């Protein structure tokens, strides 16, 4: 299979990831009134960890010692980002939290340039600006900088670190084992955050069904898809595609969550789609300088 076809499949995989994440927003809206957020995350990722392990119990053992270290670091970064994002959400509006979290789309090319010595082309920077503006239109109804926004921005930086790290360390061969190890570490981080007050479990069948869906589809399967996809796509390209998450969240909120379709959803979604077009669907001759590795 050609690298170009791998890249197209990877793009579809990332769109599945963002769609699955976007589908969870209206599901957890009521659930978090009954289950503390960190407890929910600990249970969700624990189920995802067990599911991934049972599918291929020897996948982690096949990883090299270096790959295991990489997986542990990536899981720690992602787990801490989850906790910080959750903590920040308690001190700012959900719409603002969504916008600030989405700033990983700006942080990712900066980190890729600094850490991986990648040169980011002008067309990609235009896509980053379009995606950022689209996120603002889609999410914001007012904005002020305070403690909650600061903590959430730190989580956005950590998500960018995770994307850049996956882009640097993920390979086709190690993708599954790396996903299993990351998920176990994420579970440990979230469980450590939830443990002091005791873990509250979902209490109804409906809540358990929602948690299992988020664990298996938007958790385990999504992480495997992202890890594999990033073995074929540049980190900045990945970040721009992943800004489709709030677009899917708005889509599912209207389709299944009973929300009305607002003009800002259409405008913001169109801007994010335009950003993805620039890095994915435009003729290759226009983006040949998108990301070039500098000679060290």
**pLDDT recorded at residue 176:** 96
**Average pLDDT for residues 223-243, to the nearest whole number?**
92
Q: What is the DSSP letter of 141?
A: S
Confidence of residue 295 (pLDDT cuts 50, 70, 90): very low
Q: 293 Cβ partners below 8 Å, 6+ apart?
A: 116, 117, 118
pLDDT tens per residue across span 6-44: 888 999 999 999 999 888 877 776 787 888 888 999 999
**Average pLDDT for residues 150-168, to the nearest whole number?**
93
> Distance (Å, rounded) from C-alpha 93 to C-alpha 99?
10
**pLDDT recorded at residue 182:** 96
- For 195, list phi and psi in degrees, rounded to 5: -60, -40
**Average pLDDT for residues 230-251, to the nearest whole number?**
89
**Average pLDDT for residues 98-121, to the nearest whole number?**
85
Task: Classify residue 36 as exposed, middle or buried by CB count within 10 Å of its CB (0-12, 13-18, 19+).
Answer: middle
Largest CA distance in the chain: 57
Task: Tell me what percent of the residues of the chain surpass a pLDDT of 70.
Answer: 91
Query: E strands within 109-214?
Result: 118-120
Q: What is the DSSP letter of 64?
A: -
The closest alpha carbon to 218, from 47, 31, 84, belongs to 47
Confidence of residue 143 (pLDDT cuts 50, 70, 90): low
**Average pLDDT for residues 245-268, to the nearest whole number?**
82
The number of CA neighbours under 13 Å toward the Cβ of 182 is 29
pLDDT tens per residue across span 257-288: 777 888 888 898 899 989 988 876 553 444 44
**pLDDT recorded at residue 227:** 95
Cβ–Cβ < 8 Å for 253, 196: no
Q: What is the DSSP letter of 196?
A: G
**pLDDT recorded at residue 144:** 65
Highest mean pLDDT among 135-139, 152-156, 178-182, 255-259: 178-182
Q: State both tokens at 276.
A: 């993805």
> Distance (Å, rounded) from C-alpha 291 to C-alpha 296?
15
- For 118, list phi and psi in degrees, rounded to 5: -95, 140
Cβ–Cβ < 8 Å for 214, 24: yes
**pLDDT recorded at residue 285:** 44
Cβ–Cβ < 8 Å for 40, 31: yes
pLDDT tens per residue across span 234-244: 898 899 999 98
pLDDT tens per residue across span 169-187: 999 899 999 999 999 999 9
Q: What is the DSSP letter of 284?
A: G
The closest alpha carbon to 135, from 168, 78, 95, belongs to 95
**pLDDT recorded at residue 286:** 44
Residue 34, number of CB atoms within 10 A of its CB:
12
Q: Using the predicted structure, report yes or no on whether residue 215 has a pLDDT greater than 60.
A: yes
Between residues 294 and 121, which one has the greater pLDDT?
Answer: 121
């Amino acid at each position: 299979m050609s690298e170009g076809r791998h890249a197209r499949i990877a793009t579809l995989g990332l769109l599945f990831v963002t769609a699955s994440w976007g589908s969870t927003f209206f599901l957890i809206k009521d659930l978090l009134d009954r289950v503390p957020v960190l407890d929910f995350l600990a249970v969700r990722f624990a189920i995802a960890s067990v599911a991934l392990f049972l599918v291929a119990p020897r996948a982690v053992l096949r990883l090299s010692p270096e790959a295991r270290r990489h997986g542990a670091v990536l899981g720690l970064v992602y787990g801490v980002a989850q906790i910080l994002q959750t903590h920040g959400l308690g001190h700012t509006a959900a719409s603002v939290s969504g916008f600030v979290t989405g700033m990983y789309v700006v942080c990712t090319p900066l980190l890729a340039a600094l850490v991986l010595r990648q040169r980011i082309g002008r067309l990609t920077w235009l896509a980053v600006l379009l995606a950022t503006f689209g996120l603002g239109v889609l999410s914001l109804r007012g904005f002020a900088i305070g403690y909650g926004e600061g903590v959430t921005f730190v989580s956005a930086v950590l998500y960018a670190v995770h994307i850049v790290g996956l882009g640097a360390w993920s390979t086709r061969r190690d993708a599954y084992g790396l996903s299993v190890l990351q998920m176990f570490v994420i579970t440990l981080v979230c469980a450590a955050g939830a443990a002091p007050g005791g873990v509250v479990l979902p209490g109804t069948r409906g809540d358990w069904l929602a948690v299992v869906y988020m664990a298996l589809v938007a958790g385990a399967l999504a992480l495997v898809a992202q890890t594999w996809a990033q073995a074929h796509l540049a980190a900045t390209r990945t970040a721009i595609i992943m800004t489709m998450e709030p677009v899917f969240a708005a889509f599912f909120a209207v389709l299944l969550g009973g929300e009305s379709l607002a003009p800002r959803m259409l405008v913001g979604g169109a801007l994010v789609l335009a950003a993805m077009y620039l890095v994915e669907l435009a003729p290759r001759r226009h983006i040949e300088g998108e990301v070039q590795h500098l000679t060290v």
